[in-house]
Structure 1
Amino acid sequence: MTEPDFDALFAAATAVRARAHAPYSSFAVGAALVDDAGGVHAGCNVENAAYPVGTCAEAGAIAAMIAAGGRQIRAILVLADSPAPVTPCGACRQRIREFARPDTPIVSAGPDGVRARYTLEQLLPASFGPEHFVHGA
């Protein structure tokens, strides 16, 4: 499999981050992923006054991928303006796990470029996934 185009993911995450709805935290996040067919899908965080019902950028990107017919994440890039690299929250790591392989690249970026690169296995070791279910039992 060829290396994903991280420049395209960075551009998509930058564009969608500008549209984030973050009036409470002022912490805008953009995420972009590439699916198994090469499609790029992006999402931004959408906060809500009732904090638990907000949506993370990664969740938005995954929903966009599913809505477009994609089923496999080849790579994902998360972009936020923070002194330290920003990685997906625990819930989003599990969301990514549903559609990605252990070696799937998860890239953390800031406005000036890539800051860190991980694999899903590094961020969510010994994880629980779809293969743990016994189908047809």
Structure 2
Amino acid sequence: MEAPEKNELVAAALAVRQRAYAPYSSFMVGAALRCEDGSLHVGCNVENAAYPEGICAEAGAIAAMVSAGGTCIVEAVVCGGGSAPCTPCGGCRQKLREFGAPTMRIHIVNAEGAILLTRTLSELLPDSFGPSNLGHGG
């Protein structure tokens, strides 16, 4: 990812993280996705008093992308708090795989925007099951 594009994607994840609804855990997460057409889509985590009913930031960003007509993620940023990397949960890794190739890069940043690590989707979700397994897309 080129520096201006990376900065834009990181800035979008940082900004949306500030709008997260996390009254129970106080763990705010933001995600930003870049589609193949260059458009950006963001999402933040939304907790719920019935804990399993919360929404992850990545899922929110994917929903925003789909509602805008996007179908292909080429790069993503996930921003959490603290010093440990906030990688996508297992469910979100699979959700990202629905719209991204195994080679898609996912950058994990801290609350200040410093990149803590970068992984491909295949590194986070090896031997994944995706649309191509069902005869759709790549």
TM-score range, shorter chain: over 0.9
3-state SS of 2:8 partner = helix
Q: Are 1:120 and 2:82 an aligned pair?
A: no
CA distance in 2 between partners of 1:110 and 1:3 (Å): 19
Moved segments of 4+, more than 6 Å: none
> What is the percent sequence identity of the aligned residues?
54
Question: For 1:87-123, what per-residue CA distance to the aligned partner results, in whole angstroms no more than 9, with x for missing partners?
Answer: 0000000000000001100110002211100000000
Contact 2:98 2:130 in 1 (8 A): yes
TM-score (norm 1): 0.93
Does residue 106 of structure 2 align to residue 106 of structure 1?
yes
Residue 103 of structure 2 corresponds to residue 129 of structure 1: no
How far, CA to CA, are the matches of 1:134 and 1:47 in structure 2? 35
Shift in Å, 1:82: 2.0
List alignment gaps of at least 5 residues for structure 1.
none
TM-score scaled by length of structure 2: 0.92
For the aligned residues, what is the CA RMSD?
Answer: 1.4
Change (3 A) 1:38 1:134: closer
| 8 A contact 2:82–2:111 mirrored in 1 | no
**Displacement, 1:86?**
1.0
Query: Are residue 45 (structure 1) and residue 24 (structure 2) matched?
Result: no
Offset of 1:3 from its aligned partner? 4.6
Name the counterpart of 2:22.
Answer: 22
Partner of 1:79: 79
Q: Tell me the secondary structure at the aligned position of residue 84 of structure 1.
A: coil
CA distance in 2, matches of 1:71, 1:118: 21
2:105 alignment partner AA: P
Unaligned runs of 5+ in 2: none
Distance 1:68 1:134, change over 3 A: closer
Structure 1 partner of 2:70:
70
Shift of the alpha carbon at 1:130? 1.2
User: Could you tell me which amino acid in structure 2 is paired with residue 115 of structure 1?
Assistant: L
- Report the 3-state secondary structure (helix = DSSP H, G, I; strand = E; otherwise coil) of the residue aligned with 1:127: coil
- In the alignment, the residues of structure 1 paired with residue 126 and residue 74 of structure 2 have an alpha-carbon distance, to the nearest angstrom, of 18
Query: 1:84: Cα distance to partner?
Result: 1.1
Residue identity opposite 1:103 in structure 2: T
